[in-house]
């Protein structure tokens, strides 16, 4: 709906037009009136009209001056002048300002004004349709160009190079002059890609939005071109024909910073940049440089979001030590958070351990495997010990979520969310349990694994008859209480066998077993082989 503003110091004229013109029927919105030029300018600056109907002779600012001012703000605004006989000296000025119509007040009829407005509507609608068609054609052309550019880069990376001149001609179509200039390669990648993909719901829309902003920023830079590399990455090529050698000594990061700021401002996404180490003087060097940059996905794991860095700064080696030597300690610390329902300690505990992981710089795949095991172990423990469990994520989704993480900081945020969600489910589970005695009994077991635990001991703690408690526990959990105690202790024993150098005898003692043979028997009843044999299979003692 187009907007209309009236400006005239003759109030009866304003009232006549305001009341007699069928604005809504014409699909027009009457946004107000002003009795002088300055007031009309102020109103228009608050809400810009598409059509201005104005008198010429007004105090403060006449109609011609008002049109001049508003045309600077809205060049496509339509104007209709209302005039008296003695003001025809303004006609020539009105023509220069491309005024659409000139109406004499003394002979003005409402039908005439309606016809004028209808003609303006036809013009504006046709112009709008033409603009849409042009925008559609431009969008289609750009998308086609982006697709051709992506195919060219894909071909470069995967096909052999026989005829360099032919490759140079292909790149020249997109403004890359490899025959006369040297190009510096920069990889742009989307931080927290999976999270952003959920927002945009389409890989194509997400990458197009980012690519479009980059093109806008680089529009005035004739020596910069953007190519799409895939779903998560783009390639920027910056030319510098002034370089004497191939080594990069200086590179202006300002365009990259501008791109980061614009993408964050307009679509609330963070991107990072990794800059190459040299200028590419031909197609083969360019191919090698791009491949090297694309192979840095693991090295990017420890980078924070929204950085601009050089490739050589990512070459620090990963730790050689085995991260799983810390598993028992981490598992106990995280398990205690759930056991105590200590939601207030989750942030600090996770932050402390992740600072350690970052300092040690463990291999990303090993760290993700470590976290996945931690998550799955606790998930299984909670699920197996609870009759009511309504946690939303399945084991498959947990597995997929952890392994898809591309940044240690993203992994930390996700683990924090997971642990709080799991704790919330445990708290909800506790409230829904028909007998709080079961929860108390299980908590007692988990906090006294180093002791011998008997049915009578726990029954006395709960002020229940042992036989009654035994029946109650079996009914609520479909598992005997002694069976639960044995299972939990054997799970802990298996964890120690897998992640520590403890001997079988040490483990049996630390789990409250005075008789090693009985411990072996319990272990074998659950895992179908004695602990010593499992230890041998694991390659430990």
What per-residue confidence (pLDDT) applies to 95? Answer: 57
pTM of this prediction exceeds 0.95? no
How many whole angstroms separate alpha carbon 306 and alpha carbon 315?
A: 19
More confident residue, 160 or 135: 160
pLDDT tier, 243 (very low <50, low <70, confident <90, very high otherwise): very low
Section 360-374 average pLDDT:
94
What per-residue confidence (pLDDT) applies to 541? Answer: 44
408-446 tens-digit pLDDT? 999 999 999 988 888 887 776 655 555 678 888 888 888
473-510 tens-digit pLDDT? 888 888 899 999 999 999 889 988 888 888 999 999 99
What per-residue confidence (pLDDT) applies to 264? Answer: 93
How many whole angstroms separate alpha carbon 19 and alpha carbon 342?
A: 69
Same fold for the domain at 2-127 and the one at 433-541? no
E strand or H helix at 160: none
pLDDT tier, 222 (very low <50, low <70, confident <90, very high otherwise): low
Burial 308-343 (b: 16+ CB within 10 A, else e): bebbeebeeebeeeebbebbbebbeebbebbeeeee
Angle between the N-to-C axes of helices 283-294 and 110-158, in degrees from 0 to 180, rounded to the nearest 10: 90
pLDDT tier, 312 (very low <50, low <70, confident <90, very high otherwise): confident
What per-residue confidence (pLDDT) applies to 135? Answer: 64
pLDDT tier, 242 (very low <50, low <70, confident <90, very high otherwise): very low
Answer whether CATH 3.30.1700.10 is correct for domain 2-127: no
70-121 tens-digit pLDDT? 988 988 888 888 877 555 555 555 555 667 677 777 778 888 889 989 988 9
What per-residue confidence (pLDDT) applies to 461? Answer: 87
Q: What percent of the chain has pLDDT over 90?
A: 29
E strand or H helix at 280: strand 271-280
DSSP E strand stretches across 56-100: 78-83
What per-residue confidence (pLDDT) applies to 480? Answer: 92
pLDDT surpassing 80 at residue 387: no
How many whole angstroms separate alpha carbon 60 and alpha carbon 65?
A: 10
What per-residue confidence (pLDDT) applies to 464? Answer: 85
More confident residue, 513 or 387: 513
CATH architecture of the domain with range 433-541: Orthogonal Bundle (1.10)
Question: How many whole angstroms from its chain centre is CA 526?
Answer: 44
Indicate the fold that domain 160-314 takes in CATH: Alpha-Beta Plaits (3.30.70)
What per-residue confidence (pLDDT) applies to 539? Answer: 67
What per-residue confidence (pLDDT) applies to 236? Answer: 92
The mean predicted confidence, pLDDT, of the chain is 84
pLDDT surpassing 50 at residue 370: yes
Burial 232-249 (b: 16+ CB within 10 A, else e): bbbbbbbbeeebeeeebe
pLDDT tier, 239 (very low <50, low <70, confident <90, very high otherwise): confident
Record the tokens describing residue 78, joined without a space. 């339509």
More confident residue, 406 or 145: 406
What per-residue confidence (pLDDT) applies to 368? Answer: 95
Taking the domains of the chain in order of start, what are their residue ranges? Answer: 2-127, 160-314, 317-426, 433-541
What per-residue confidence (pLDDT) applies to 109? Answer: 85
pLDDT surpassing 60 at residue 241: no
pLDDT surpassing 50 at residue 540: no
């Amino acid at each position: 709906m187009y907007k209309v503003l009236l400006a005239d110091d003759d109030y009866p004229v304003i009232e006549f037009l305001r009341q007699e013109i069928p604005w809504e029927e014409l699909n027009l919105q009457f946004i107000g009136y002003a009795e002088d030029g300055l007031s009309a300018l102020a109103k228009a600056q608050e809400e810009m009209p598409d059509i201005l109907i104005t008198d010429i002779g007004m105090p403060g600012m006449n109609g011609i001056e008002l049109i001049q001012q508003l045309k600077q703000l809205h060049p496509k605004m339509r104007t209709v002048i209302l005039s008296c006989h003695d003001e025809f000296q303004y006609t020539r000025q009105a023509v220069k300002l491309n005024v659409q119509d000139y109406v004499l007040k003394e002979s003005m009829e409402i039908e005439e004004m309606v016809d004028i407005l209808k003609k303006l509507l036809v013009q504006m609608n046709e112009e709008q349709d033409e603009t849409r068609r042009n925008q559609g054609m431009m969008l289609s052309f750009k998308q086609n160009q982006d697709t051709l550019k992506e195919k060219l880069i894909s071909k470069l990376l995967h096909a052999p190079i026989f005829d360099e001149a032919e490759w140079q001609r292909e790149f020249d179509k997109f403004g890359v002059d490899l025959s006369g200039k040297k190009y510096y390669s920069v990889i742009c990648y989307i931080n927290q890609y999976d999270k952003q993909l959920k927002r945009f719901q389409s890989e194509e829309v997400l990458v197009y939005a980012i690519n479009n902003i980059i093109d806008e920023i680089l529009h005035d830079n004739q020596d910069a071109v953007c190519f799409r590399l895939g779903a998560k990455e783009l390639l920027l090529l910056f030319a510098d024909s002034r370089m004497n050698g191939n080594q990069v000594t200086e590179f202006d990061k300002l365009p990259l910073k501008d791109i980061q700021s614009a993408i964050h401002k307009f679509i609330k996404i963070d991107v990072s940049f990794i800059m190459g180490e040299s200028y590419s003087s031909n197609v083969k060097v360019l191919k090698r440089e791009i491949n090297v940059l694309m192979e840095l996905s693991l090295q990017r794991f420890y980078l924070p979001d929204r950085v601009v860095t050089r490739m050589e700064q990512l070459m620090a080696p990963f730790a050689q030590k085995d991260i799983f030597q810390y598993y028992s300690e981490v598992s106990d610390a995280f398990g205690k958070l759930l056991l105590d329902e200590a939601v207030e300690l989750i942030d600090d505990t996770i932050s402390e351990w992740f600072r350690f992981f970052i300092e040690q710089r463990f291999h990303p795949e090993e760290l993700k495997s470590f976290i996945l095991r931690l998550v799955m172990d606790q998930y299984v423990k909670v699920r197996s010990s609870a009759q009511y469990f309504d946690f939303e994520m399945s084991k498959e989704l947990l597995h997929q979520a952890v392994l898809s993480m591309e940044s240690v900081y993203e992994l930390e945020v996700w683990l924090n969310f997971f642990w709080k969600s799991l704790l919330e489910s445990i708290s909800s589970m506790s409230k829904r349990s028909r007998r709080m005695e079961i929860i108390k009994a299980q908590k007692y077991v988990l906090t006294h694994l180093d002791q011998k635990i008997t049915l009578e001991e726990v029954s006395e703690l709960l002020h229940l008859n042992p036989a009654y408690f035994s029946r109650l526990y079996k009914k609520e959990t479909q598992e005997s209480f002694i069976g639960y105690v044995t299972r939990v202790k054997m799970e802990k024993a298996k964890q120690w066998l897998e992640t520590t150098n403890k001997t079988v005898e040490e483990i049996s003692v630390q789990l409250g077993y005075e008789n090693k043979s009985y411990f072996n028997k319990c272990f074998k009843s659950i895992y179908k082989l004695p602990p010593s044999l499992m230890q041998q299979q694991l390659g430990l003692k």
